Amino acid sequence: MRVLIIEDERKLSNIVRKGLIEEGFAVDQAFDGEEGQYLAESESYDLIILDVMLPKINGLDVCRSLRSKKIITPILILTAKTTVKDKVEGLNVGADDYLTKPFAFTELKARLQALLRRSHNQTQTTLQVDDLEVDPVKHTAKRGNKTIFLTPKEFSILEFLLRHQNEVVTRTQITEHVWDYNFDALSNVVDVFVATLRKKVDFGLKNKLIHTIHGVGYRIGKDKDEKTS
């Protein structure tokens, strides 16, 4: 999943970025409200981590502006402001959650996973189709009784497909949600990763779960009558 961190404390932003990348997230950074608002409006994100005390445009105004433009990306406000009034103000301008500094990274990760589940209307902590089960928190994947060992990018692609189970997702959608701002969208790396992922998930099994929808993209789910491979 792809996250935007809007935080002017570069050391903190880099620590959070490093931790999220280790968890398999693709991460972009902005260090002031103006840049953050621009990225949030022009790029596709699954989550936004937003500081309140920002240069140029403060975080509350950024959040308010995004919501007025119908951008519904889940927003977690991350700030040193701790009063109930501050929390209420943040939630009232459209934020989905509020975490005060200092914080434990494990709590931040848990809150982000909860926001992801909520945004996809999922109540379970694990993602499952047929006998394939993926746990985004523990970063584990298995099919039946067999553990599947995945690279971080393979895991991210599989998680994205499962969060859009039985939907056709395009290569562009995968690129936008699994890679960061610097990714070369013209490369064929998505096809290469999906091919490798398919071998790990489907190889030797009659019931194939990852399907190529020719000329469109990919779908994960039980086979259908449409032309797939």
Provide the mean pLDDT of the chain.
Answer: 89
| pLDDT (tens digit per residue) in 150-184 | 998 899 999 999 999 889 999 888 888 888 777 76
CATH code for 2-119? 3.40.50.2300
Q: Where are the domains of the chain?
A: 2-119, 127-220
Cα separation, 159 vs 168, whole angstroms: 14
Question: Nearest to residue 176, comparing CAs of 195, 162, 156?
Answer: 156
**Phi, psi dihedral angles at 30 (to 5 degrees):** -135, 145
Task: Give the pLDDT score at 184.
Answer: 66
Find tokens 């959608």 and name the residue. 173
> pTM here?
0.74
Question: Nearest to residue 159, comparing CAs of 184, 140, 144?
Answer: 140
- The DSSP 8-state label assigned to residue 29 in this structure reads E
Averaged pLDDT for residues 52-63:
95
| pLDDT (tens digit per residue) in 122-144 | 767 789 999 999 998 888 999 99
For residue 217, which amino acid is it? Answer: G
Cα separation, 110 vs 54, whole angstroms: 25
| Residue 227 confidence (pLDDT) above 50 | no
| Residue 229 confidence (pLDDT) above 60 | no
Fold agreement (2-119, 127-220): no
| pLDDT (tens digit per residue) in 68-126 | 999 999 999 988 887 888 888 888 999 999 999 999 999 999 999 899 888 877 767 78
CB-CB contact of 66 with 94 (8 Å): yes
Given pLDDT bands bounded at 50, 70 and 90, which one contains residue 224?
low
Cα separation, 24 vs 221, whole angstroms: 22
**Tokens matching residue 220:** 């994960």
CB-CB contact of 118 with 73 (8 Å): no
CB-CB contact of 33 with 58 (8 Å): yes
Averaged pLDDT for residues 29-53:
95
Cα separation, 80 vs 26, whole angstroms: 25
Class of the CATH domain delimited by 127-220 = mainly alpha
Task: Give the pLDDT score at 186.
Answer: 61
